[in-house]
Chain A
Amino acid sequence: MANEADQIVNTEEAAVENEINAEAETTETAAETVIAENVETVTETAESTEENAVDAAYQVENYAKEAIEHESTLSEAQIKALSKKRISKGELKRQWILLAIGFIFVLYGLLFYYLPLGGWIMAFQNYKLKTGLFHSKFVGFDKFKFMFEFDVFEWGMETTGNFFKAMKIWIDKVVFVRAIRNTLGMGILNLATTFIMAIVFAILLNEVKNKLGKRLVQTISYLPHFLSWIIVCGIVHDSLSGTGIVNELLRLFHIVDDSYNFFAHPGWFWPIVAFANVWKETGWNAIIYLAAITAIDPSLYEAAEIDGAGRWGKIRYITLPSIAPTIVILLVMNLGNLLNCGFEVQYLLGNGLVQDVAQTIDIYVLNWGVGQMDYSLGTAAGIFKSVVAIILILIFNTVAKKLGQESLF
């Protein structure tokens, strides 16, 4: 058995070499063709006894691996070429099913994820359902100009001569610019609060020595993540309403005499949204930090203890530096997603009185694209968001690489 396999291996190796030679040389000697023929017959018989063939193929592969390991002088390109060669014909034959499945999924992906990108053309058209994508009139960047109303900014610059004042006028007067401000503002506020809370919660929970208590608190902390935004917003709304717990407490401590309507004051809207996010996601986001903390080598803590570090010292010098890579990579990922956080809460909690601070880009798309059926404008706003989001992701991915962390791709 073993000898047979060895023989096959040898002949197969010869065949591979032959192929290479044949590619390189234009003329073949008769002897070589004879050998090649022999090899073919041998491989054919080997394939008829399938076990042997597979066996042989693997051994060839192993040899190739060993060869790569031993010859450190090989360049990377050569190694790549070698590893490509490693896929034998039998393996290729076996891979047809992978190819077929992969192909189906590519079709699916093209249809549902890549085809909509073609719809971006709508942003440069005056799209009408009647005329469709192919016969609607092209209008260039008109939709974007309508959205941004740059002339308002220019007018502001002319009248005030101050960039910041002009920006303020621009934000105050133009709905879409305000939507950008709201998206960024709430995105940053949410990110900062949820991020810090998750880390603090993870570190503090880790300091609990009582196993049962720790588990209980952690289990409860996950709970809000599993509730839908509908429920969370309902709960937040009820808690802050006239008969809600917050107003009850405020009355109890005589901070207010009559119930305070949080939803009628624009200044409260962003903090409420941030609180809703913190309430929903703190426990869930902490999971990953807790996992990172658990992975810290206990001997580090012991060493720190011997050096006289107290609880704070251990957190400051062991825990935080150890989970720093996790923190950085998650921060970078979340910064890339800055524009994506925030649609449901704003949609569900917003009302006419706080509209100016509640409308995000997504809601703008919804209002104009779905509500007013201006598909072109909705698409244009969506494109702006997508492009900015991709730029953000690329920037922060580069930052992550520079910082020496794993990149996202």
Chain B
Amino acid sequence: MKMKKDDFALNYTNSHGGEKMSDEELKTIKRMARKNTRRMDGWGWAFVICNTIFLVLFTIVTLYPVWNTVAYSFNDGLDAIRGGIYLWPRKFSVESYSKVLNIQGFVVGAKITVLRTILGTLTSLVANALLAFVISRKRFLFRSSLSLFWVVTMYVNGGLIPVMLLYRYLHLTNTFWVYIIPGMISAFNVMVLRTYMEDLPDELEESAQLDGAGYITIFIKIISPLCKPVYATVALFVAVWQWNSWFDAMLYNRMKTEYTTLQYELMKLLNSVTQQSGSANGNNTTAAAKQVTPVSVRSAATVVTMVPIICIYPFLQRYFVTGLTIGGVKG
């Protein structure tokens, strides 16, 4: 608790440029703040109550479906089919997880997804950073034309079919590399990185050049260490995108089960149900019912697929907040 108070005092003084406040002053401020709250009129209270209700509802709507999925995943498979499980499993069991891990495609998909996330993030980060570095050099001759060249790619693209045929022609389809190479550069990420690099003081580069440093040295030794926060942002964006991709696996590697991804496998599991509910009046429901994966197994698969990202994102909050602010308004 004491830490909190000191922090507040420090922050306050920092933002107001004065000296650190004494405990006495702090107390006065707090008393005044409390008084202000007390002085709130009826409308003010109504607002606070409505606002709280809204935000609590919002949180519940966001969190409940995810929590419910976790609850189902830990429930006994047969029992779960009856439904009616809300916040806690009725009959606890981890059997569904062992079932999921025994699905051949799922294990392969997990390996490929981890691999593509790591490799894809690394290559993409290096490539984007290098390109952003080149574009952000203020004295680079072709700076604006190179920048335009990449901005255009954000808005114009060939479309699904020409791209697919190109990959086929380049023999990228039915390989692992189709996950890594074509999506390596994203103009949006380049612009985020560029904006950040441009905001760094020019003097850094100039003094390094005075010491005889070339551009590569400047990139590695001067710019990159300062860009760590924005690198983290871009790495997060790319990693999430890689982890969540499924369409490329379906389109380019449908025939190659050894290059399947986690999300695509999950889709196959979930799809057996989605398709069925639409054609519920059909005669083939009995046949379909046999193929339908039990709800607990589907939930377990979903949980396995989302857990890594859910565990990581809260710690990277400040990074993506800065990244979005830079990219959203200035990009």
Contacts and interface: CB of A to CB of B under 8 A. Distances in A.
Interface stretch (B18-26, B90-98, B137-145, B223-231): B137-145
Interface in A101-129: 101-102, 105-106, 108-109, 112-120, 122
B62 A207 contact: no
A301 interface: no
Interface in A218-241: 219-224, 226-231, 233-239, 241
A310 B266 CA distance: 50
Contact of A234 (B62, B146, B245, B298): B298
Contacts, number: 271
A113 B209 CA distance: 35
Interface in B48-75: 48, 51-52, 54-55, 58-59, 61-66, 68-69
B325 interface: yes
A193 B302 CA distance: 27
A40 interface: no
Interface in B163-210: 163-166, 182, 184-185, 206, 209-210
A382 interface: yes
Contact of A105 (B54, B131, B164, B210): B131
A370 B274 contact: no
A329 B59 CA distance: 28
B62 A283 contact: yes
A50 interface: yes
A105 B61 CA distance: 44
A230 B158 contact: no
Interface stretch (B99-107, B114-122, B283-291, B305-313): B305-313
Interface stretch (A31-39, A147-155, A361-369): A361-369
A234 B266 CA distance: 9
Contact of B310 (A87, A98, A105, A223): A223
B274 A230 contact: no
Nearest to B82: A243
The secondary structure that dominates the B interface is helix
A117 B267 contact: no
Given A264-B278, A349-B274, A54 B134 contact: no
B58 A228 contact: no
Chain A contact residues: over half helix, strand or loop, or mixed? helix
A351 B270 CA distance: 13
B267 A264 contact: no
Interface in A39-55: 50-51, 54-55
B28 interface: no
Nearest to A90: B209
Contacts of A353: 278-279
Contacts of A362: 160
B305 to A, nearest CB: 6
Contacts of A92: 141
A95 B218 CA distance: 12
A54 B209 CA distance: 7
Interface residues of A, number: 104
B325 A291 contact: yes
Interface in B299-331: 302, 305-306, 309-310, 313-314, 317, 320-321, 324-325, 328-330
A237 B63 contact: no
Given A95-B215, A217-B58, A311-B47, A351 B278 contact: yes
A231 B274 contact: no
Contacts of B275: 351
B134 A235 contact: no
A399 interface: no
A388 interface: no
Given A264-B280, A351-B274, A102 B146 contact: yes
A288 B329 CA distance: 8
Contacts of B127: 105
Contact of A326 (B155, B161, B314, B329): B329
A201 B37 CA distance: 22
Looking at B61, B153, B244, B274, the one whose CB has the most chain A CB atoms below 10 A away is B274
Given A58-B210, A105-B185, A231 B306 contact: yes
Contacts of B165: 119, 122, 375
A54 B329 contact: no
B263 interface: yes
A326 to B, nearest CB: 6
The 10 A-B residue pairs with the shortest CB-CB distance in the complex, in nearest-first order: A116-B158, A351-B278, A119-B162, A382-B159, A243-B83, A228-B244, A116-B162, A378-B161, A113-B153, A369-B161
26 contacts: A54-B209, A92-B141, A95-B137, A95-B141, A98-B137, A99-B141, A113-B153, A113-B156, A120-B162, A220-B59, A221-B58, A221-B62, A228-B266, A230-B244, A230-B263, A231-B305, A236-B65, A238-B65, A238-B68, A242-B83, A282-B58, A351-B274, A362-B160, A379-B159, A386-B157, A386-B159
Given A105-B134, A228-B266, A264-B277, 15 more contacts: A50-B212, A51-B210, A54-B209, A95-B215, A113-B158, A116-B163, A117-B158, A204-B55, A226-B313, A243-B84, A284-B324, A291-B324, A329-B329, A344-B247, A378-B160
